[in-house]
Amino acid sequence: MEKITLRPESSEPASSVKLIIPFTTYLKAIGVALLVAVGLKLVPLFFLLYFAILMAVTLDPAVLWLTRRKVPSGLALAMVSGLVILAVASFFYMVLPPLIAQAGLVAKQWPEIQAGILSKLSHETSNGPLGPLRRDLLEQVNQKSSGLPIPDILSHAVAIGGSALGGISEFVIFLILGIYFLAQGRVARDWILDFFSGQTREKLKQTCVESGQVVFAYVAGQVITSLLVVVFAFTLFTILKVPAALMLAIVAGVFDILPIVGFFLSVGPAVLLALTVSGKTALIVVIAYFVYHQIESYVIAPWIYGSRMKLSSLVVLLAVLAGGMLGGVFGAIAILPIVAIYPLIERIWFKDYLGEDVIRRHQKLEHSKEEARVGPKDSAIP
């Protein structure tokens, strides 16, 4: 039988590991948390600065065009800024009042509009499958027609008025910042570049110059395409006698900024209000929107942007979705110029990592996609 020997326990204490976190680490963690909190609070300001820079980059070629024709730089800046202020004032004076009136009327009469849509779509009797739904809508219409209590009306009016004042004040700040960046943008850029040296400074300067050209092409082209959509939609709805034609046209122009998804977001309200006229009118609206969307994608956009904007549809869609999830509508709009300048970022900054062969293949791929979209003759890079 095997003999088992028991060893006496060691009298030495077991070694222990102590985790010592310096006090400075706590301070750093608190500082990072405070910076994140402050950054989140300043997100609206960052959006204002970003869009103001886009405005300045878009208007800068106009100032340069005037200065090259012997116009003093100060006078050129005043002329361009004056035209912008005049355009904004014209919008607020001529377009905004009827736009607000139409939007308010649609919101007030929305229950009646719902009932009208249902009555146009359904040819069933009151005992049909849509009968209960129609009766519920009619009851809601009757209840709404009695009006809201005075306190509710006042609270809604105060809320809407406060939002309007806040939006106007932010827009004024946006204009002021945009004009300031237009006047002092190059000085600020050169001041920042002085902190860098050698090759990094040259790369940053090249990035600023080339990205400015791409951003100008994007913003100016988008303004033109949005205005064309507004004219098309307003003409279409006026001819078809669809209510709130101006409001629907402005909605179409705004959503035209968002590629791919903007079409679906704008066609929904248009079809709903067209249904208040007739089902045939709604069908005409859908067909007209689809035809115009194809013309814009394959004729208007290539003609306006040329070969300066080369964005994959999948990349654009993912960028819009990501920007929308991070910053809502403003985030979806803001991310598009950043995506547009990625090819030049890749060429300037990632050339040493990716290699010239990869950069060359990417450029050939984009060029072949452009030829397939607009034809070999129109795809030459200027």
Query: Got the DSSP string for 335-362?
Result: HHHHHHTHHHHHHHHSHHHH-HHHHHHH
Phi-psi region of 244 (alpha: psi -120 to 50; beta: other; left: phi over 0): left
Distance from C-alpha of 65 to C-alpha of 211, rounded to nearest angstrom: 19
- Please list the rounded mean pLDDT of every run of 10 residues in the chain (382 residues): 53 62 84 90 88 90 90 91 92 87 81 70 50 54 48 48 66 90 87 85 87 85 91 94 91 87 87 87 92 88 67 75 82 84 82 73 63 41 30
Task: Give residue 34's pLDDT.
Answer: 92
**What integer pLDDT is reported at residue 77 of this predicted model?**
92
* Whole-number pLDDT of residue 362: 67
Q: What is the pLDDT at residue 218?
A: 84
Alpha-carbon separation of residue 249 from 93, 198, 350 (angstroms): 17, 51, 42
| Three-class DSSP category at 308 | coil
Q: What pLDDT, on a 0 to 100 scale, did the predictor assign at position 157?
A: 46
Q: CB of 106 within 8 A of CB of 247?
A: yes
